[in-house]
């Protein structure tokens, strides 16, 4: 596993220089915001792009997927970012915000896959749980232990309260905040995946069901860590009673110190995630603001550089840092997209 510290330091330095040396309305450095999950991969690309082309190293900021899309959609002009990374697909409401603020032409790039893991220190009791048990541990309201058709405030304090086979330790899970795409995907794929077939929500409308299934308890069992997955990793290493939620790539980066829970009988591996066999797998994206192409130098070239076989091929350097790269046919389509920059239509997001 290639470490990312050198690349991260290079990009941070380049971003600092760009911030003080270029006016807000006339910059020559690409501005990229968004997902903390995509950030390490984009950082490696940006560092190589800056060192091997005539363009400056892009400036990256980890704001979370939702925060990045809000900044991206705020308007046209070099005071606004050119590209945003996301660990989930753009929502139709975000597309509408872009359109409202004049960000009419957007190109979407699906750059690969990632899984969301429940990790812990290798010294901790590892979890082997179902998605239903995970929802019972973290849902704000869950079916009553006395009547599975009625919802009550979550009464479970220990994992073993849910099932005696689970660890006899307090439920304490650290994860990302609501602005994070990882949190969005976790709520939808993991929590709702374990909730939507329960009798207590069977007769609800889709919106009401999502409201219950995607609501996380607020009594201290779930701890928000901010947009810093490395912080969660460090906390897990220091506390064997804590479990953490983050992307698979961070697990791989720390495989000598952390372990991953088995979910619905599946251990997270690159192969299982790529094949959609692991139940909490999701796609990763970046979005380009086409109005800035040709205004801020290097945007189109950066997209082509990111989609190149040397970066995203089966032996590409992004695979070496943990990205689950797309298959060959998908990569060829991505390269065509980088050349043609087709507009994203709202219907594609529905």
CATH code for the domain of 147: 3.40.190.10
Residues 130 and 235 in one domain: yes
Query: Looking at the domain assignment, is residue 267 inside a domain?
Result: no
**At residue 1, does pLDDT exceed 90?**
no
Instruction: Give the domain range for residue 130.
Output: 123-256
Helix (H) or strand (E) holding 112: strand 106-121
Q: What is the Cα 149 distance to its own chain's centre?
A: 33
Do residues 212 and 329 share a domain?
no
Q: What are the pLDDT digits (tens) for 149-190?
A: 999 999 999 999 999 999 999 999 999 898 888 898 899 999
User: Residue 46: inside a domain, yes or no?
Assistant: yes
Residue 277, domain member (yes or no): no
* CB 43, CB 8: distance < 8 Å: yes
Do 136 and 239 reside in the same domain of the chain? Answer: yes
Domains in the chain, number: 2
Average pLDDT over residues 113-118: 91
Q: Read off the pLDDT of each residue in 81-94 and give the average, rounded to a whole number.
A: 96
Please tell me whether residues 108 and 130 are part of one structural domain. Answer: no
Count of beta carbons in the 10 Å neighbourhood of residue 3: 9
Check if the beta carbon of residue 87 is closer than 8 Å to that of residue 181.
Answer: yes
What tens digit of pLDDT does each residue of 9-66 get? Answer: 444 444 433 433 333 457 899 999 999 889 999 999 999 999 999 999 999 999 999 9
In terms of domains, do 140 and 208 share one? yes
pLDDT-derived band at 259, boundaries 50, 70, 90: very high
Last residue of some domain: 215, 238, 256?
256
**Mean pLDDT computed over 220-242:** 89
In a domain, 105, yes or no: yes
Q: Distance (Å, rounded) from C-alpha 161 to C-alpha 315? A: 46
Q: Is residue 176 part of a domain?
A: yes
Domain assignment of residue 38, yes or no: yes
Q: Residues 80, 137: one domain? A: no
Region 213-226 average pLDDT: 94
pLDDT tens per residue, range 312-349:
998 999 988 888 998 889 999 999 999 999 999 999 99
Looking at the structure, do residues 249 and 129 belong to the same domain, yes or no?
yes
For residue 6, what pLDDT is reported? 44
Report pLDDT for 12: 45
Average pLDDT over residues 73-97: 96
| Range 227-253 average pLDDT | 88
CA separation for the pair 260, 269 (Å, rounded):
10
Q: Please say which residue of 203, 238, 256 terminates a domain.
A: 256
- Tell me which range, 122-126, 246-250, 271-275, is most confidently predicted by mean pLDDT: 122-126
Residues 129 and 204 in one domain: yes
CB-CB contact of 85 with 44 (8 Å): no
Q: Is the dihedral of CA 101, 286, 276, 330 positive or negative?
A: positive
């Amino acid at each position: 596993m290639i470490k990312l510290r050198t690349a991260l330091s290079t990009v941070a330095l380049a971003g600092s220089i760009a911030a003080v040396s270029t006016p807000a309305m006339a910059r020559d450095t690409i501005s990229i915001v968004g997902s903390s999950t995509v950030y390490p991969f984009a950082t490696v690309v940006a560092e190589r792009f800056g060192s091997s082309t005539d363009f400056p190293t892009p400036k990256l900021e980890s704001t979370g997927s939702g925060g990045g899309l809000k900044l991206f959609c705020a308007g046209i002009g070099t005071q606004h970012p050119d590209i945003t990374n996301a660990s989930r697909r753009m929502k139709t409401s975000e597309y509408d915000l872009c359109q409202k603020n004049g960000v009419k032409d957007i190109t979407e790039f699906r750059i690969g896959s990632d899984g969301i893991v429940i990790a812990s220190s290798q010294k901790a009791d590892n979890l082997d749980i179902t998605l239903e048990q995970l929802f019972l541990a973290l849902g704000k309201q869950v079916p009553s232990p006395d009547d599975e058709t009625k919802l009550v405030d979550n009464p479970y304090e220990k994992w073993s309260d849910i099932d005696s086979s689970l660890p006899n330790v307090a439920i304490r899970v650290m994860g990302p905040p609501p602005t994070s795409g990882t949190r969005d995907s976790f709520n939808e794929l993991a929590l709702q995946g374990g909730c939507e077939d329960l009798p207590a929500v069977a007769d609800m409308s889709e919106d009401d069901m999502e409201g219950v299934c995607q609501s996380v308890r607020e009594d201290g069992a779930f701890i928000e860590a901010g947009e810093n997955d490395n912080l969660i990793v460090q906390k897990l290493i220091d506390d064997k009673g804590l479990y953490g939620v983050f992307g698979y790539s961070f697990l791989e980066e720390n495989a000598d110190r952390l372990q991953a829970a088995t979910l619905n009988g599946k251990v997270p591996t690159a192969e299982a995630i790529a094949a959609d066999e692991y139940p909490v797998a999701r796609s990763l994206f970046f979005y380009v603001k086409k109005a800035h192409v040709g205004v801020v130098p290097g945007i189109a070239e950066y997209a082509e550089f990111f989609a190149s076989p040397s970066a995203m091929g089966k032996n590409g350097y992004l695979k070496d840092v943990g990205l689950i790269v797309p298959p060959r046919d998908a990569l060829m389509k991505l390269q065509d997209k980088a050349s043609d920059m087709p507009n994203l239509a709202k219907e594609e997001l529905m």
